[in-house]
A and B are shown apart, each in its own frame.
Chain A
Amino acid sequence: NAGVTQTPKFRILKIGQSMTLQCTQDMNHNYMYWYRQDPGMGLKLIYYSVGAGITDKGEVPNGYNVSRSTTEDFPLRLELAAPSQTSVYFCASTRDATRPQHFGDGTRLSIL
């Protein structure tokens, strides 16, 4: 049972480059989330989705975009990478809003 799968695991970008962080889940969960985790800080919500075709902003959405065309996939797009976006990114999913979220193992992104 794969759960939540994130790719790539590591990536180094140059300032101004763009990339897409991939997230897929095989649990048929409606709710999906993107967080970033910086050293000494709690996880901060970037974007979330309550189902295919529906997305909404979290606490720190600036500089990111998302789409949700299928139940399984929830990619996160960085259009113009900035050093402040150096972080570890986690994707999570859950069956409904009151249940625990299941997390992937993260993408470690460095922007130089």
Chain B
Amino acid sequence: EDQVTQSPEALRLQEGESSSLNCSYTVSGLRGLFWYRQDPGKGPEFLFTLYSAGEEKEKERLKATLTKKESFLHITAPKPEDSATYLCAVQALIYNQGGKLIFGQGTELSVKP
């Protein structure tokens, strides 16, 4: 069964304290892994797509990496405005003409000044 697990469930950082969020996945052939940011009361906002092991993508203080079993979202010198819930989702390659996503439960990040 395709599955996504994110850890930790919640993470509290001081401003400037770098850390990483983990997304472990089991999928019958990976088409793509997606990272989203979700602010309270809002819908998920797309950050990155990763397609193959070894791939990396960066945006401002965020860097996403991918292996065959997990993905990391590294946050370098975070600021309070980085506080949000970060969601990971995988898209299986087979039997998936509809582009269905399987989401993890999210990591709630809080960055204090």
Residues of A within 8 A of B (CB): 4, 31, 33, 35, 40-45, 48, 50, 56, 58, 90, 92, 94, 96-106
Contact = CB atoms under 8 A, between A and B. Distances in A.
B98 A56 contact: yes
Given A98-B99, A100-B49, A42 B43 contact: no
A87 to B, nearest CB: 14
A4 B34 CA distance: 19
B103 A42 contact: yes
Nearest to A100: B46
A4 B46 CA distance: 13
B11 to A, nearest CB: 15
Contacts of B106: 42
Contacts, number: 65
A42 B99 contact: no
22 contacts: A4-B43, A31-B98, A42-B87, A42-B104, A42-B106, A43-B44, A43-B101, A48-B98, A56-B98, A90-B44, A92-B43, A97-B96, A97-B97, A98-B99, A100-B49, A101-B46, A101-B99, A101-B101, A102-B46, A103-B44, A104-B43, A106-B42
Given A42-B89, A106-B43, 6 more contacts: A31-B98, A42-B4, A43-B87, A43-B101, A44-B103, A90-B44
Query: Interface size for chain B: under 10, 10 to 19, 20 to 34, or 35 or more residues?
Result: 20 to 34
A89 to B, nearest CB: 10
A46 B40 CA distance: 22
Contacts of A41: 105
Nearest to A90: B43
A40 B108 CA distance: 10
Contacts of A35: 103
A56 B34 CA distance: 22
